[in-house]
Homo-oligomer: A and B are copies of this chain.
Amino acid sequence: MASLGVAVIGTGFMGKCHAMAWSHVRTVFGGNTEIRLEALCDTNAEIIKQKAAEAGFVRAETDWRQLIDDSRIDIVSISTPNNLHREMAVAFLAAGKHVWCEKPMALTLDDAVAMTAAAASSKAKTLLGYNYIRNPAIEHARKIILDGKLGRIVHFRGQVDEDYQADENVPWTWRSRLATGGLGVLGDLTCHLVSFAHYLVGDIAQVCADIDTVHKMRSVPGSEEKRGVENEDIAHAMVRFDSDATGILMASRAAHGRKNMIRVEVHGTKGMITFDQERMNELQLYVADEPAATRGFKTILTGGLHPPYGMFTPAPGHQLGFNELKVIECKHFVDSIERDQEAYVNFAEGLKIEKIIHGIAASAASRSWLDVR
């Protein structure tokens, strides 16, 4: 029987999400491949043993380098701070281990390029954590688009908003500094939006952007000092796709009241699809070929007819949750490894997304259109 050994590095928000996905994937999807939870890794020695036990991992590890040459490990989930992605990914790929890395891909574009090169030199597979596009609602939207039901796609709009930096009293941290935190909302949220655009419409070719930092100074905890925030709270860009379709990307991490809004609209010559992540089990579809008096946006609730929803429950409208998107993503990676096919979004595709979000920052600085291919 096939068997895959897994290590997860990181035990924070996304680390736990990966651990849950790995422990869940075979229960949900079945199949004959055994998933062995070999190692959970975190620098915090005090908690890692307990966490590993809770999540069902065989072993707790505090030094990720110990995993590089561990032959029991086939796949590594990287859910650490972004500044560590490059070093880890390159090392594991060199050792032939498959790498599932959280987004954003890296701190800098150089890092992303290096990671992509490492992937190209390795027989191992790569995957980046663009979980939202794994939603059965989005897969269904994509199918409708590819089937031509919307005609030619002419326009895309996307907005992604959260409010975790909306309060002026949120303290300054190392994340507020470019050198240590990298991009702001672009790296955290906009990259997701680009994944939607690429998956549903195609590659973005050009951008023209503007960015802003709402709260320019923040207090340093435990002192009276205030320091400057170096990365952006708000970013938006006009885009042109390879297909010459137009589009708009909008993002804010300072949008009061928004918790996980990712709203996308795909405009075609024969219809429109819209989607809102805050109601992630619904798809809105309008097609122009119905009798005019009864046309309208249709709210489609996902169910067994929208794979792989049915693996979670046969009952439509019962709803999947955020974490289950990660399980689908996990299954996608397992499949790509077993079938020796590239996963999507792999590092090469992820590099395109990085070029776009860094291109947006550059365009905002130069106040001009830039080619981002």
Residues of A within 8 A of B (CB): 13, 16-17, 19-20, 23-24, 26-28, 30-31, 50-51, 54-56, 140, 144, 154-155, 157, 159, 162, 166-168, 208-210, 212, 214-215, 234, 236-238, 240, 246, 248, 250, 252, 254-261, 267-272, 278-280, 283, 285-288, 292-301, 303, 305-306, 312-324, 367-369
Contacts and interface: CB of A to CB of B under 8 A. Distances in A.
**Copies of this chain:** 4
A252 B269 CA distance: 12
A20 B214 CA distance: 44
Given A256-B287, A293-B300, A297-B298, 17 more contacts: A13-B313, A155-B255, A157-B250, A166-B269, A209-B238, A254-B267, A255-B272, A256-B271, A256-B272, A293-B305, A293-B306, A312-B321, A318-B321, A319-B322, A320-B321, A321-B324, A368-B368
Given A267-B254, A306-B293, A27 B17 contact: no
Contacts of A369: 367
A317 B260 contact: yes
Contacts of A250: 157, 248
A51 B30 CA distance: 7
Contacts of A270: 256
Contacts of A314: 13
A30 B13 contact: no
A260 B309 CA distance: 15
Contacts of A268: 256
A187 to B, nearest CB: 16
A196 to B, nearest CB: 16
Nearest to A283: B296
A248 B252 CA distance: 12
A119 to B, nearest CB: 28
A140 B234 CA distance: 26
A233 to B, nearest CB: 8
A23 to B, nearest CB: 5
Nearest to A244: B212
Nearest to A318: B322
Contact of A316 (B236, B260, B267): B260
Contacts of A167: 288
A155 B234 CA distance: 9
Contacts of A16: 313
A26 B57 CA distance: 12
A210 B246 contact: yes
A296 B26 CA distance: 31
Contacts of A316: 259-260
B323 A259 contact: no
A299 to B, nearest CB: 5
B55 A27 contact: yes
A345 to B, nearest CB: 19
A280 B319 CA distance: 8
Contacts of A323: 312-313, 320-321, 324
A267 B288 contact: no
A140 B293 CA distance: 9
A277 to B, nearest CB: 8
Contacts of A238: 208-210, 236-238
B254 A246 contact: no
A102 to B, nearest CB: 13
A293 B259 CA distance: 13
B257 A246 contact: no
A248 B248 contact: yes
A271 B286 CA distance: 19
